[in-house]
Amino acid sequence: MGEYADLPGVRTWYETEGTGDPLVLLHGGFCTNDTWGAQRADLASTYRVYLPERRAHGHTADVAGPLTYQDMADDTVAFLEEVVGGPAHLVGWSDGGVVALIVAGDRPDLVRKAVAIGANFRPGPECFVEPSMLDAMTPSGPDLAFFRELYEPVSPDGAGHWPVVAEKVIDMWRTQPALTAEDLARVGAPTLVMAGDDDLMTLEHTTALYRA
């Protein structure tokens, strides 16, 4: 079971398990903590694992205005300071990887090591293997059905709020993140960059992220 932390930006749902050095898992866009199910037990055997659900995701409510990676990174900084109580290892997948990279650049004192899985540092149309995929995404369409099924049963905003969140995330992907190689060079923590064989991001983009 999880609980809420009253952070400055948003009341945030999180779960914890295991003992050891703190490790924060940052889920992907549209996802919940359920998507870490295959890794949680193994990681918790070695680490104290923290699993926050970001604003407008899972059990954490939406907030007024657009979604931004910077706001989610600021929420994560607050989580590290107020819940974890200090620096931690960050493992982020997709949007969570973006958030991990921003946190590592902004607050190196709070990041021991980082793992960025399937992450990007430029907006979707610049780095997606299929840049037009965003045009085909609709709140009620088949491309987002899996994520809608994750969202609707647990969101404190209710199932009817899904179209609002879906549009916000898609809009964010069109224009964010807008990081540069210089921004990435601020990351001082040892960082592992990973991508799947059939990932959303081009190999060229992932290589550029790694080199930066």
pLDDT digits (tens, 9 = 90+) for 114-143: 999 999 999 999 999 999 999 999 999 999
Strand 11-17 with 48-53, pairing: antiparallel
Percentage of residues of the chain with pLDDT beyond 90: 99
Report, as an integer, the average pLDDT of 4-21.
97
pLDDT of residue 183: 97
Mean pLDDT of the chain: 97
pLDDT of residue 2: 96
Burial of 148 (0-12, 13-18, 19+ CB in 10 A): middle
Into how many domains does the chain fold?
Answer: 1
pLDDT of residue 115: 98
pLDDT digits (tens, 9 = 90+) for 64-118: 999 999 999 999 999 999 999 999 999 999 999 999 999 999 999 999 999 999 9
The owner of tokens 């932390």 is: 5
pLDDT digits (tens, 9 = 90+) for 153-180: 999 999 999 999 999 999 999 999 999 9
Give a yes or no: residue 52 inside a domain. Answer: yes
Give a yes or no: residue 154 inside a domain. Answer: yes
pLDDT of residue 23: 98
- Domain membership of residue 139 as a residue range: 3-203
pLDDT of residue 26: 98
How many Å is the Cα radius of gyration of the chain?
Answer: 16
- Residue ranges of alpha helices (H) inside 2-82 are 37-44, 69-79
Give a yes or no: residue 161 inside a domain. Answer: yes
Residue (of 30, 63, 33) closest to 166 by Cα position: 30
Distance set, CA 59 to CA 5, 45, 52, 152, 180 (Å): 12, 25, 9, 10, 32
Q: CATH number for the domain including 90? A: 3.40.50.1820
pLDDT of residue 53: 98
Give a yes or no: residue 209 inside a domain. Answer: no
Q: Distance between CA 52 and CA 103 in Å, rounded?
A: 14
> What's the token pair of residue 81?
């300071």
Give a yes or no: residue 192 inside a domain. Answer: yes
Given a cut of 90, whether residue 182 has pLDDT beyond it is yes
Given a cut of 90, whether residue 1 has pLDDT beyond it is no
Give a yes or no: residue 212 inside a domain. Answer: no
